[in-house]
Structure 1
């Protein structure tokens, strides 16, 4: 293998111009795949990928057995339009008139008309104006006329009477508004049709028209929160992020590269390799048909970081190898030969870590593992061919015109070398203590994992630190009105009706005809209600269950009411005997209503469906679902039946648990595979399997320290952070391999263990320091973005990079020295192996 690598490196360093020409053509061919890139993948997976989960199975069962019930509930959807005036009164005559004029404009818009439900548009302005007109059925023009003719005091009086007499008017006002005749907030309800008569395109066009019309009334405080508003908010967000993060990130990267390389030409050559690596990655993804997905920024930043790391090792080793009388080609040949083995090993083990994600059930995570692996392989090819060839070409040209291109390697300076060598001193004096401390820290990481919070995702925060807003020029972050509006609305409003609420279902199966069934279900519902999870808005039915459905039918059907009363032994309004007869009577009285809550197949009752309208947000899932599960446990009674929480919140929570479990499996697979690979490679190349095992051990400590960092910084386990945990191994293995391989190379060359260790931590350690500073600095700039998920992403990667560096320079030297003491520091190199060239 080394002979073949040597032949390739010889060709690259001897025929640098041919290499560049060939790789330029190859780059063009690979980059041609970029236009074919598929970016349609989403962050989730289909139900089939999680069909072994009880909640997913329950959700599928509900969809199959209660289809008619679902269809009856989905023929309309509402689009609230909000009115806000922080220092004024949105119940004033002028504001209500604005609302009526707004309604006239949107209802006359052809795009809105095409998707408008027969219930149309309604708001408190309609109720007030109709009262003033003396006609509950007054047309919109008549309402406008009546409100225009009224005085402010008449309007105020009408508002007060309306709120006192009509509780349904509260749906248009903030929760717990009461009967006050002034308010800073109100909302209108636009009802869109979702039946077969309208298409999704119709609804999309109606939403766009609503957004545009609402913007025309923005000065009056009108706004809408729909897909068009969020799209503009996202564009605003990315624009602000580019203006703030990109300049800072480039400044950090270039500053550190200039410090590390102390040479502008080397900075340009290294960054050229980084750009080519990213282009190759996306080109290969396009050709191979791998979906890039919605989080393609992850492979970009990770590949950029690894590419910068590769560049540091190539340049640093070249500088170490070039003596005073050397030309350019020979030391570059030796430097690339020396470092290529480590780079290949890094690529292989990192690929193992990333490809272990193929065991994950989510397609986006599997695709991401493939994407990053392709990127690492691309970086390897670029940095052992293009970068050395380009470096030789440019340095040769410059030296021919009289410029000396010799530079000192990072880590060999007067100030930095003693700092790096201190890790050797620590290893000599306290290696066992370092090992014990590492084991303890690893154990703390294991305990911290069990204490991490789990969330489906981290809710964006509309607040932006003042100093970020006060930065000069385009750097200043301008907060998005949409995010602030969204946060405000979620704080003061409850859902306007069932179609606007997040719903959760509880599926009860087995023993649904036992006498205690309905009592246990009612007890479970009351327990959930006491937790404050249900919507209390007067216009919303918070619970649909057999009890509520039966009571509703009994109000209209006297004979069924008599059946309920006859089977209620303690007069609490809940039947508790011979429930099969009650169910039969229910179906006979109103089968359409009964089939929404009861499943009857071949005359047998197999399941019950309880539907809850929740006063919650999707980000509340990790808190809400356990309390729903407690209520479901109460519905099970004494084990007579099963009750499973379903619905979007419950399914998301179950999927998150499954993914986190998958991440643990992924990490274990990756760690085992990497350990086996290192053992095999070190045995093959250096004659010591045990040395490979020693190099692999610190990776587990890196993972543990990252978990500790997450716990200290209160970073929760979400779909994104769980994914990043599986990628930490791919990052953590890099630095240890470079130090371990350099140590082995020095031993192969005949150095004593202490001298070999000193060469590894000063030579290779200097390159690792530059790589860490550059990559960690660049990722840290992402933390400037006021978005919790991106901040968590940046924090985890920075922690992984810094801890990997510290572990490779503090813990690994102690392990290597202990290994040398117990093995006499001797490597059994194969007899036919050529000694590694050293200077």
Structure 2
């Protein structure tokens, strides 16, 4: 069959090609419209950087871990660690720093809504007033029967009532009177003391010295807690606030001051990753562009190869902006993958077009050859790469799903724009005399490679085997990273300060969470009381302390028996006060004396400080008891106790939860690899129509994966949730190389001709991908830099196994029939 006569099934393609070659101006105009739409859609996108988004979301351990993070409200606060002097000098410096931070402004707005160094004020004034109001409205949610008895004795003692009223009035004369006036006007009897004791219990896990300040026991460190004026999602404000805080800290040269907390970690990680991503994308574009210019020496073509790639990427981000609204910063980093793989498609199409023009074909006929012959291999290679990433959309990790959508959509749009706009641009340039036919270009050394493969195929196979065997022992040293902390950027100030806080304020206990599932509130409280009873019975050598919702409240309606308002009214009247002036106090007493009132739901509308003890999901109510253990040996004893009580009770620590989540993520990722392999094999079987050819095309990728994994083991690089992405990357690159070699070999049945032509484009795509990921290797974020280095290693391995191993096998098969 003559090369330009195509089967009937290609008639539609030919009609499209005829339109592209005859009406390139219209095609380019429509492309321009799409480019504008893509840019507008991309402007809708917002970014996030929560590291927990890497984890499977449907796992009970994740729900528990996520709940503890959000319930403790640590993500919205800044923690300031102050060191350098001791005791009274440190407290004096802390007070000065509090005043300066309270006066700090960002764009004429207060930088912080609240700054404190006092334990009692660790809960902000507004939060405390809201909590106090809830407590006075619903006292049964905050009191136990034992505390109710103490309250009854207070209300029936004229001496105690008089003492509390005098104490409240004396507080109004203190320097903090403006704040205390609100508290006393709500609670003139100091009923809040029951509440404050519970707040202190909720602040367990950290060890402070005696006194009101959050001072370490050795007096060498002080913690300040600051509530930023804007939420952490306002990244611009967060960056300005942290910069302003550091500028302020510089005015205290005798002190060592550091920032930490979820707010600081998120802001610093976002700044680091945003810079890395921009540098990586810029480096990728410059490196790829320079290589293309050196190889083909046509600036006009280079520009229009980069533009379709950028449009394809922007369309993918635009679709995600419309469908998701927010994308994780780590997912955006994989835009380099779209550029790296997308430029491979463009190089194969342009290289074939330029080769056919050099052979004397017209622009129209060269376009047909490039799109219908090489384009079919490009399409199959694109589909296999797309499939390898598309399976990530089925994982339980939101970030991996976003990476799957970004890369697969980006590759899909890049394929369309390259096969649609690039041929039109080439024909338009030549039709308008803007450029002449391509000049002869170098084979880039592939002629020597082809001669070596043809003359020494067995040596090629032997060398491939030696390299593989040398790398295989490294597989024994390879492991899956189970510590999520290892995914934080190294050297981040906020992470280092957090570890310093643990050194100074750690209580020496091991925090654990005991969790259970209930279908009703009655079952929830019953199980919580059973757990409380078992923990209370344990000796101090096994349990240091524990806190649950049922240690703060009995979870039932409480009543004051035989209460008479007379004594209270007399105590207030002695100071010219009336009970009617304190509606919150009347509500408190009414709630405890009205036996006809319905108790309602105890878990509804609770203050966030209580919500750390439970959350709801589609399975019902999940209860949480916070336990501190004195030693690691006590962990096994706690496991044993809870198993005897109820085997369904889950006992976890942060380390256990992370290990469970990582194991879940690992099994999910393995399933995606298996699914991707099956789908890719199906695509290759359909394209080549031969199982043997399909397996040969898969061979370089399989060998490259083993080689890369072995090198990871030698270098001590573990597999984690981010660098795992090199597997679909290598599947995309390796299969692309193998597909083009096999497809071109089918055309001419000569490995020399195949490597002289297709080998050059494969070398270029390998180098462009290495340049694209070479910029990632320079990232400051160690996870991205390691992934860049591994991808370069894997891509070079794919090239070597494709050009030497696969080509040698094809040559030997052809030589021996």
Identify if the C-alpha distance between structure 1 residues 667 and 118 changes in structure 2 by more than 3 Å, giving closer, same or farther.
Answer: closer
1:565-576 → structure 2 map (5 Å cutoff): none
Using the TM superposition, give the Cα deviation of residue 794 of structure 1 relative to its aligned residue in structure 2, in angstroms: 1.6
In structure 2, what is the equivalent of residue 750 of structure 1?
none
1:274 aligns with 2:312: no
In structure 1, what is the equivalent of residue 807 of structure 2?
813
1:231-310 → structure 2 map (5 Å cutoff): 233-234=268-269, 237=272, 241=276, 248-286=283-321, 292-310=327-345
Using the TM superposition, give the Cα deviation of residue 696 of structure 1 relative to its aligned residue in structure 2, in angstroms: 2.5
Deviating more after overlay: 322-331 vs 208-217: 208-217
Give the gaps of 5 or more residues in structure 2.
1-8, 105-109, 124-171, 177-207, 518-526, 553-609, 615-621
Per-residue CA deviation, residues 453-508 of structure 1 (Å, 9 max, x unaligned), is 43325355565xxxxxxxxxxxxxxxxxxx3464255246437478x999431459
Contact 1:347 1:376 in 2 (8 A): yes
In structure 1, what is the equivalent of residue 457 of structure 2?
427
In structure 2, what is the equivalent of residue 408 of structure 1?
440
Using the TM superposition, give the Cα deviation of residue 305 of structure 1 relative to its aligned residue in structure 2, in angstroms: 0.6
Identify if the C-alpha distance between structure 1 residues 422 and 430 changes in structure 2 by more than 3 Å, giving closer, same or farther.
Answer: closer
1:305-704 → structure 2 map (5 Å cutoff): 305-323=340-358, 325-398=360-433, 404-410=436-442, 412=443, 415-427=445-457, 431=461, 433=462, 447=476, 449=478, 451-458=479-486, 460=488, 463=491, 483-484=492-493, 486-488=495-497, 490-491=499-500, 493-494=502-503, 496=505, 503-506=511-514, 525=542, 543-544=545-546, 611-612=626-627, 644-683=650-689, 688-704=690-706
Contact 1:635 1:643 in 2 (8 A): no
Identify if the C-alpha distance between structure 1 residues 4 and 91 changes in structure 2 by more than 3 Å, giving closer, same or farther.
Answer: same
SS at match of 1:785: coil
Identify if the C-alpha distance between structure 1 residues 213 and 340 changes in structure 2 by more than 3 Å, giving closer, same or farther.
Answer: closer
In structure 1, what is the equivalent of residue 752 of structure 2?
758
SS at match of 2:483: coil
Per-residue CA deviation, residues 118-141 of structure 1 (Å, 9 max, x unaligned), is 81379xxxxxxxxxxxxxx99779
TM-score by length of 1: 0.64
- Using the alignment, how far apart are the partners of 1:759 and 1:522 within structure 2? 81
Contact 1:317 1:409 in 2 (8 A): no
Contact 1:731 1:800 in 2 (8 A): no
Contact 2:98 2:224 in 1 (8 A): no
Contact 1:112 1:206 in 2 (8 A): no
Contact 1:667 1:729 in 2 (8 A): no
Per-residue CA deviation, residues 256-312 of structure 1 (Å, 9 max, x unaligned), is 222222333332232223222222322343455586443342442111011211121
In structure 2, what is the equivalent of residue 772 of structure 1?
766
In structure 2, what is the equivalent of residue 159 of structure 1?
none
Identify if the C-alpha distance between structure 1 residues 108 and 792 changes in structure 2 by more than 3 Å, giving closer, same or farther.
Answer: closer
Identify if the C-alpha distance between structure 1 residues 501 and 307 changes in structure 2 by more than 3 Å, giving closer, same or farther.
Answer: farther
Alpha-carbon RMSD = 5.3
Using the TM superposition, give the Cα deviation of residue 633 of structure 1 relative to its aligned residue in structure 2, in angstroms: 5.3
Identify if the C-alpha distance between structure 1 residues 90 and 254 changes in structure 2 by more than 3 Å, giving closer, same or farther.
Answer: farther
- Using the alignment, how far apart are the partners of 1:295 and 1:227 within structure 2? 17
Contact 1:435 1:815 in 2 (8 A): no
Identify if the C-alpha distance between structure 1 residues 430 and 367 changes in structure 2 by more than 3 Å, giving closer, same or farther.
Answer: closer
Contact 1:666 1:726 in 2 (8 A): no
Contact 1:111 1:205 in 2 (8 A): no
Greater RCO (Cα-Cα under 8 Å, separation 6 or more): 2
1:220-235 → structure 2 map (5 Å cutoff): 220=252, 221=255, 222-226=257-261, 229-230=264-265, 233-234=268-269
SS at match of 1:385: helix
Give the gaps of 5 or more residues in structure 1.
64-69, 123-136, 142-165, 464-482, 527-541, 551-594, 600-606, 616-623, 748-755, 825-839
Contact 1:269 1:391 in 2 (8 A): no
- Using the alignment, how far apart are the partners of 2:771 and 2:369 within structure 1? 31
- Using the alignment, how far apart are the partners of 1:627 and 1:785 within structure 2? 42
1:119 aligns with 2:159: no
